[in-house]
Amino acid sequence: MANEARGARGRRFAESLDPDAAELNASVGFDWRLLPHDVAGSIAHAQMLGRRGILPAADVERIVTGLREIGAELAADLADLKDRESPLDSALEDIHMNVEARLSARIGAAGGRLHTARSRNDQVATDLRLYALASAKKLMLELDNLRRALLAQARAHVDTLVPGYTHLQRAQPIRLAHHLLAYVAMFGRDRARMEDAAKRADECPLGSGALAATTFPIDRNQVASDLGFRGVTRNSLDAAGDRDFAVELVMACALAQAHLSRLGEELVLWSSQEFQFAKLPEAYCSGSSIMPQKVNPDIPELVRAKTGRVFGDLMALLTVIKGLPLAYNKDLQETQEPLYDAVETLDICLRVTARIVRGTVFDVDRMWKSVAEGHLVATELADYLASKGIPFRRAHDVAGSLVRKAQSRGVELVALSLEELRAEDPTFDPDVYEWLDPLRAVDRRDVVGGPARNQVLAEISRLEQELG
């Protein structure tokens, strides 16, 4: 066990690693997440070695059986560590050496043959790619779940009008459904980015060795197929020494988290007493330690704040890889924690946000009232005149003058008389008041991507079909 405790150092070193250096060097405190992928990769590797006649069939059988047993045992032990210590030995540096040491202790010399024709470099790279693929798949499912939650609210609020904003100032009336569908579109692109990032991770590096492949007659394509990869990497230096697939996945996580932050910000604003557009489910709010009346939107605020954390993960990854010579360097170990953190942070934020969206109650009357205040149909006056042949810049100026007049009287534009309108431009006719109806104003925007009722319904139907 003394040699095993030195991890991969073996008898090359007469002196044990300094305790602080050992702590700095160890990754078992976080790379336990790779356990299922490490076991799967080792099984595929062993079975290939057997098929190629590199290992005896009896050894392969013992290795595979032992790996499956150890994988199941460790998975159960790692499932809940709150009340007990980790079952992993930190002196063995990482999850890979922990599994291999247990395997050798269980099946003897055959366990030591598992590492034939591979290095920890290509082993770790393979495990990380498998982790990235599994994570991308899970995050895509969570993104779709959030999109369904937004879509359900959109379907319920097709006929609810809400102010659309620019510069956080009321701008034009839109449908609440249209507003919610904007987030469905954002998270749809985030999903596509996850899927796209997974394509670059979907190549198996096993067989690349430490940096220069192996002299053994291995079958890389078979291992890749057994592990579910679509193919193999084409350069051993690159495969062992880069983590751009992790950077790309975390970049997709960062953008998705940024979109979550925007949604969280609007939930915070809309649930405030200043807006009163929405009431969040109490399971995602908290109270005040001294003010009994408070209902604080803590969870959307945390979702918003977690964005900085995921941005930091991305910057950490980019910084680690930016100046590394080829091929493997221990620096690459530092790419793991940012990857895990970004994935796990986004995962929980997606899950809670979907539940918040499903449970939010929108104040329809309050939204309608806000649409009726603030001259949100001023653009309709300009469009009306432009439709009569008045140059738009002239029409815009006339509408601005009428807004100023209405504001000075403390009324909305619809309260101005036809004579007052014609005093600015004689082109106005009685039908102008139809243009000042917010609902009609929204429905005149009947173009693909617009907020008109039939366009919104068509988009909802399209998305419902897409999401199933």
- Letter for the amino acid at 72? A
In this structure, which amino acid lies at residue 439? L
Segment (H or E) for 20: helix 19-25
Q: Identify the H or E element spanning 370.
A: helix 364-371
Is the separation of the CB atoms in 126 and 118 below 8 Å?
no
State residue 16 phi and psi, 5-degree precision. Answer: -70, 155
From CA 236, how far away is CA 255, in angstroms rounded? 31
Of 167, 289, 408, 417, which one is the catalytic site residue? Answer: 167
Catalytic residue among 16, 272, 286, 288: 288
User: Which of 78, 75, 99 has the alpha carbon at shortest distance from 4?
Assistant: 99
Helix (H, G, I), strand (E, B) or coil at 457: helix
Q: Check if the beta carbon of residue 370 is closer than 8 Å to that of residue 174.
A: no
Q: How many CA atoms lie within 13 A of 340 on its CB side?
A: 14
- Using an 8 Å Cβ cutoff, are 177 and 151 in contact? no
CA torsion through residues 6, 7, 10, 15, sign: negative
Q: Are 136 and 201 in contact (CB under 8 A)?
A: yes
Q: E strands, 120-238, where?
A: 161-166, 169-175
Is-catalytic flag, 286? no
Does 259 participate in catalysis according to the annotation?
no
CA 401, CA 398: separation in Å to the nearest integer? 5
DSSP annotation string for 48-85? HHHHTTSS-HHHHHHHHHHHHHHHHHHHHHHS--TTS-
Contact 231, 203 (CB under 8 A): yes
106 — phi, psi (to 5°)?
-85, -40
How many CB atoms sit inside 10 A of residue 463's CB?
A: 19
103, 109 in Cβ contact below 8 A?
Answer: no
Residues marked as catalytic: 167, 288
